[in-house]
Amino acid sequence: MERGSDQSGCLQCGRCCERWGWNQRGTVEDLVPWIREGRIEILRHVGIRLKDGTRTSGIDLSLQDLPEIQQIDYWQHPDGRRMHSCPFFRRSPAGKAFCGIHEYKPAVCRDFMPWKGNSIEFAGNCPACRERSP
The residue-averaged pLDDT of 4-18 equals 70
Mean pLDDT of the chain: 84
> Which residues sit opposite 74 in a β-bridge?
24, 46
Percent of the chain with pLDDT over 70: 80
- From the list 106, 112, 108, the residue with the least C-alpha distance to 45 is 106
| pLDDT score for 117 | 60
Residue 63 pLDDT exceeds 70: yes
Sequence-ordered strand ranges (E) for 15-132: 24-25, 46-50, 55-57, 69-74, 89-91, 97-99
pTM, full prediction: 0.81
For the segment 69-111, what is each residue's pLDDT rounded down to a tens digit? 999 999 999 888 999 999 999 999 999 999 999 999 999 988 8
